[in-house]
Amino acid sequence: MLDRLTRLTIRARRLILILFMIGAIVGVFFSGLVDINYKLVDYLPQEAPSTQGLELMKQEFGSSLPNARVMLEEVSIQDALAIKAQLEAIDGVSHVVWLDDVIGLSTLTSVPLEFLDPAVIEPYYRDSTALISLTIKAGQEKETAAAIYAIIGSTNAADGEAFSAAETQSMSVSEVVNAMMILVPIIIVILLLSTMSWIEPLFFMITIGLAILLNMGTNVIFENVSFITRTVSPVLQLAVSLDYAIFLLHSFNDHRLEHDPKTAMRLAMKQSFPTVAASAVTTLIGFAALVFMRFGIGADLGLNLLKGVALSFISVMFFLPALTLMAYPLIDKTKHKSFLPSLKGTSRVLMAIRIPFLILALLIVVPAYLAQAQTQFDYGMGSVTEASRVGSDAKAIEAAFGKDNPLILLVPRGNPGEETALVEELSTLSVVDRVVAYVNVVGSAVPVELIDPAVLEQFYSDSTARIIVYLNTPDEGDKAFDAVETIGSLTEARYPTYAMTGTSATLKDMRDVVSSDTALVNLIAIVGIFLTLLVTFRSLLLPVVLIFTIETAIWINLSFPYFTDTSISFIGYLILSTVQLGATVDYAILITNMYLDNRKQAPKKLAMRQTLENNLISVLVSGAILSTAGFILAWTSTNPIIQELGTLLGRGTLLSMGMVSLVLPALLVLLDKPIQKTTHRHGFHPEDIKE
């Protein structure tokens, strides 16, 4: 079957080139039609309490949570009402709430403020400064934020989740292009140093580049993709799949020494297929583990990378042979000497220092494992906009009106006594700044028939009462999450059913979901790769050795935040733990596979020296590309979440390279006899000659 496929590919090479080029052009077109989602909350599972609370509020009150605030300085009541009307007229604004919606327009315009309750007035208007809440429609944040800025000018302020999303959109527009513009030339330089033709790196980049364009275009089949996927997927796809192209073309060049180009390519495809496929499978397993996350960002990125690696594999096995056969004379005309030095001396040094580094790794592994398990995570998007206008505006609004962290409680309507008791109980909590409900703003004794309908609908639907609890805590962290649990317990004690939503409630749900996802994703990735290695090497011990090698690098990498007393985005942690395992275990597979081959002909130490001499350069080149991709991502991105992910990837790859180069050789040599006993038909050379 494989032989027929290779012959067909060679015969139809012109058609294959044309089809791939057309596919790439179509991919560019469709990639522009893919919707990008900038809201992490949308990826919470539907059964999450805050998600259910948000859906209930939409059903009962016809609006989502306010996701923006506008502060107007030096304005009168009439000025604020006039600007509020302008804000309401913006197409992307679905709901606007100010003081007139709480106490009624007639009361606001006819009763002097000094005769009204300051506790009700001051959250909305104080010292000639007004604070207006808005709900901006999903998907229209960028355009709506621009329209709001045009109305309020530079002297007033605006913040909130919608403005953060708008800022993130602006930041993310050119980030992929910027990263690629820097990354591609660096990778080409690395490839020029590691190949023996000036034109080969161009073939590699064209092949994987087409696969990236196809992957981005086929994203149109999804409802949308996250901004994280849009930013990191092309870079990761390039970095993890470039090896496939390198291996095929190197095999082709080797066979060219004894065969004509067509025969050489057919043999290279047959030889490369199982190796490239095995490498792709381990990477795919790491990405596939992300799909099992309940938090949807995992499936979003996992599916995208699964598709990307599969397309890269197809592109390498079909497009690259067709391109090479059409242009191989260019390879011959652009040959150059190898720029890389011999690693014979290096291999001896590595063998000499292997035991000290093995001891060091064994001493570090337990503290690193315990430390990475204690890492503190960030779940929100607050850090994304700290350095922008949104960040400075948020500080200005907080200075004038205090921290705004509302929780929305939805309870059954019809029991004013219970509602009053709950409001009073919540008001006594140290973490609560104020509580806004019908019973304490309007008064439980006032008949609802006498209340302005516009005011009443802020608090009651036909069956549900809405209570807004303003916390004085940060949006996330132990204090905020404990407050959510306490408020939930107090509410549950008075109402058989209730719902809660709000930023802190949402972030707590993210924490709870991610905590369970972390263990599941890591387990799936480890088990999947273990089984793959079990089949590949037909050994019980070797999969343990290889996974220990890479997992140790991962634990060391993820322990840095604990030892530096910093927190990291949970997204970076989840993605890194699977990507580093799936992508860099290939280095360990290569070294182990070559060692097993050499071990059949030589004693263990000599076999390992030969392995390092001939194959370490491949690990260094591949690792240099992946780590460079990570660091370039960190350097070019203005999004702190992407920066963290890039840093973790770059540092993690270097650590994996170090473990494979320094520790894995020691383990393979030290455990040589146990490996023989646990490996089916090992064929090892007897240790009976002098090395």
pLDDT in tens, 575-602: 777 778 887 888 888 888 888 888 888 8
Mean pLDDT of 222-233: 86
Kindly state the average pLDDT of the residues 486-498: 92
pLDDT in tens, 391-444: 888 889 888 887 778 899 999 988 888 999 999 999 999 999 888 888 887 776
Can you give the pLDDT at residue 173?
57
**pLDDT for 499:** 92
Q: pLDDT tens for residues 27-38?
A: 999 988 888 887
User: β-strand 157-159 against 225-226: which pairing, if any?
Assistant: unpaired
pLDDT of amino acid 170: 67
**Mean pLDDT along residues 215-231:** 89
Q: Of 172 and 468, which is predicted with more confidence?
A: 468
3-state secondary structure of 193: helix
pLDDT at residue 198 greater than cutoff 60: yes
Q: Does residue 7 or residue 667 have the better pLDDT?
A: 667
The CATH number assigned to the domain with range 348-374+538-691 reads 1.20.1640.10
Write down the pTM of the prediction.
Answer: 0.80
Residue 469 · residue 407 · CB < 8 Å: yes
For 334-377, write each residue's pLDDT tens digit: 887 777 776 677 888 888 898 999 999 999 999 999 998 888 88
Share of the chain above pLDDT 90, in %: 28
Asked whether residue 625 carries a pLDDT value surpassing 80, the answer given is: yes
DSSP of 26-54, one letter per residue? HHHHHHTT--EE--GGGGS-TTSHHHHHH
Instruction: Tell me which CATH code domain 396-503 carries.
Output: 3.30.70
**Integer Cα distance of 192 and 206 in angstroms:** 15
Read off the pLDDT band of 213 (50, 70, 90): very high
Report the pLDDT value the prediction gives residue 243, as an integer from 0 to 100. Answer: 82
Summarised one tens digit per residue, pLDDT across range 77-91 is: 999 999 999 999 999
Digit-coded pLDDT (tens) for 153-174:
988 999 888 888 787 776 665 6
Structure-token match 């059409």, residue found: 326
Mean pLDDT, rounded, for 557-566: 90
| Shared fold status for 1-33+178-340 and 348-374+538-691 | yes
User: Amino acid identity, residue 596?
Assistant: L
Classify residue 450 by burial, with Cβ atoms within 10 Å: 0-12, 13-18, 19+. Answer: exposed
Which range, of 25-34, 185-194, 294-303, 313-322, averages the lowest pLDDT? 185-194
Q: Please name every residue paired with 501 in a beta bridge, in sequence order, or none if there are none.
A: 408
689 pLDDT exceeds 60? no
| Helix 297-314 and helix 261-291, axial crossing angle in degrees, nearest 10 | 170
Strand, helix or coil for residue 428: coil
Is 80 exceeded by the pLDDT of residue 470? yes
The full set of domain ranges for the chain reads: 1-33+178-340, 54-170, 348-374+538-691, 396-503
User: Rounded CA gap, 244 and 235, in Å?
Assistant: 16
At residue 125 the predicted structure's pLDDT band, cuts being 50, 70 and 90, is very high
What mean pLDDT do residues 501-527 have?
Answer: 86
pLDDT > 70 in the chain, percent? 95
Q: What angle is formed at CA 251 by the lines to CA 245 and CA 253, rounded to 5 degrees?
A: 105
Write down the number of H helices and E strands in the chain. Answer: 29, 13
For residues 598 and 604, give the distance between their C-alpha atoms in angstroms, rounded to a whole number. 8
Mean pLDDT along residues 448-452: 72
The CATH homologous superfamily of the domain defined by 1-33+178-340: Multidrug efflux transporter AcrB transmembrane domain (1.20.1640.10)
Closest alpha carbon to 315 in 432, 212, 161, 436: 212
Task: State the average pLDDT over residues 289-317.
Answer: 90
Residue 448, pLDDT > 80, answer no
pLDDT tens-digit profile of 98-114? 988 888 888 888 888 88
